[in-house]
Amino acid sequence: MEDFERVVKISSSEAMSVETLKLLRNFINIQQRRAQAYAHLKSGFADYMVSGSDAAYQQLCSEVTVEFNDCSKQVLEMESLFMSPAYGREDLAHLLRSVQIKEKQKLNLTATIQVLKKAGRPSERLVSHENCKFKEPMQHECVHVHEITEAAGTEDAEADAEYDNALKGAINGVQDAVTTINEHLEEIRYEIAAIEADE
């Protein structure tokens, strides 16, 4: 009877290892989908900056949002499975949770970068002439023109510095998130290799 119970435990343990391996490989595939979505978003944003087509860019953002939401939903399901008594792998659940948190930060900071780049540096933004007074065709009096004073120059420099700091902070945040995500993915690859070695 003891031998039978030991065989059942071993085969149950092996089955869990196989299931864990499947989940971890699926997680790696989800991360590849996320990477493709980011590449698509980056390419679409570059096109938008050239073409200025709001409709195409909004459509792209909607598609990417759906993809990211689907990826997150699947990872949350995996995380829940790893937390369950059947798997008992809280370590893996916490690892997936950490990746999810960093992915959310990365996405928010990526959006911030795109908003900032879309707006441009304050001193380089195009001036709108919609409130100007037109005297004759092709001649108008600009109401937005102000004398270049030391105070105005200081304000422009401060606004540019604030913009530059915000953009640099967002870029650094994305780089930090990517580094952490890659470290966690390396841990998951080690786990996959360890499970495969035991099979």
Q: Does any domain span residue 139?
A: no
CA atoms within 13 A on the CB side of 132: 16
pLDDT tens series, the chain, 199 aa: 554 444 344 456 777 889 999 999 999 999 999 999 999 999 999 999 999 888 999 999 999 999 999 999 999 999 999 999 999 999 999 999 999 999 999 999 999 999 999 888 888 775 555 555 555 555 545 544 444 455 556 777 888 899 999 999 999 999 999 999 999 999 999 999 999 988 7
Find the CATH number of the domain harbouring 7.
1.20.120
Structural domain span for residue 108? 2-121+172-198
User: What's the pTM?
Assistant: 0.78
Give yes or no for a contact between 164 and 121, defined as CB atoms under 8 angstroms apart: yes
Number of domains in the chain: 1
Kindly state whether residue 43 falls inside one of the protein's structural domains: yes
Pick from 108, 124, 89, 120: nearest CA to 169: 108
Could you report how far apart the first and last alpha carbons of the chain are, in Å? Answer: 25
